């Protein structure tokens, strides 16, 4: 199972990626989480990425392709993975195709939500200050470690606007890159998380007759 979850910030990729990956026993690889961990650890990557992330822009392709290639080359990704937040540019998508050119398909599911709902969702979103877990709406303490929930640094209204513009400019063109493939699907993200998860499972099952 090689799955790419695609869609704008706030569409629910992280929540769905986590559920799907757990159900299938494959790792969820979130490039945003990898970068946030690096920022928290104060590594060289974290120091470079912090200002870019705080401004809502994209970290450069070479850095991101290097991170993902290394991560997906690890043993636990051997039987598959769910990618969340990568690729975000056509160059990243090409690199992913180059790494996995063995004939096993990469399923790409685009989750769609009307744009006006995204700003609302992002500004209401809370993550754990301690472990970075993203809390579903209504939850008040981290279910993983009991930590305090806080807004994400890049979820302020101004940065959200920038991130949505960056998405429209640099990431949305990827739909054209993937649209004609037999392994591309679209799922309506403007539903309950359970309903989106059910549609996602059905979309994946419909690729390759459910043999993936
Ligand atoms: P996310 O958690 O996926 O919304 O990512 C948070 C931030 O990390 C983004 O706004 C970017 O600054 C950076 N980032 C995450 N993934 C990528 C990527 N594939 N390419 C470039 N920048 C990324």
pLDDT in tens, 103-162: 888 999 999 999 889 999 999 999 999 999 999 888 999 999 999 999 999 999 999 999
The 10s digit of each residue's pLDDT in 34-65 is 999 999 999 999 999 999 999 999 999 999 99
List 2, 28, 125, 126, catalytic entry: 125
**Ligand 1 pocket, Cβ-based, cut-off 6 angstroms:** 9, 31-32, 35, 52-53, 56-59, 64, 85-86, 88, 92, 154, 163
104 is catalytic: no
24 is catalytic: no
Residue 27 CB neighbours (<10 A)? 20
Q: Which domains does the chain have, with CATH numbers?
A: 2-207 (3.40.50.300)
**Residues 89, 174: contact at Cβ < 8 Å?**
yes
Residue with CA nearest ligand 1 atom 15: 32
pTM metric for this prediction: 0.93
Q: Among 166, 130, 157, which Cα is nearest to 145's?
A: 130
Atom 2 (ligand 1) nearest CA: 32
Atom of ligand 1 nearest to the CA of 13: 3
Nearest to 68 by CA among 43, 91, 42: 91
The pLDDT of residue 96 is above 70: yes
């Amino acid at each position: 199972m090689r799955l790419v979850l695609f869609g704008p910030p706030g569409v629910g990729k992280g929540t769905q990626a986590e559920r799907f990956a757990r159900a299938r026993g494959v790792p969820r690889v979130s490039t945003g989480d990898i970068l946030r961990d690096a920022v928290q650890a104060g590594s060289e990557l974290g120091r470079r990425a912090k200002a870019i992330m705080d401004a809502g822009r994209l970290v450069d392709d070479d850095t991101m392709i290097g991170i993902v290639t290394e991560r997906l080359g690890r043993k636990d990704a051997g039987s598959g993975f769910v990618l969340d937040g990568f690729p975000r540019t056509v160059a990243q998508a090409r690199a992913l195709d180059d790494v996995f050119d063995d004939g096993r398909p990469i399923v790409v599911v685009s989750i769609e939500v009307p744009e006006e709902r995204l700003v609302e969702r992002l500004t209401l979103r809370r993550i754990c200050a301690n472990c970075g877990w993203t809390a579903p709406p209504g939850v008040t303490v981290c279910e993983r470690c009991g930590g305090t929930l806080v807004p994400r640094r890049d979820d302020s209204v101004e940065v959200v606007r920038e991130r949505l513009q960056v998405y429209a400019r640099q990431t949305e063109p990827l739909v054209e890159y993937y649209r004609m493939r037999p392994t591309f699907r679209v799922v309506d993200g403007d539903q309950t998380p359970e309903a989106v998860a059910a549609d996602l499972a059905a979309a994946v099952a419909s690729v390759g007759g459910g043999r993936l």
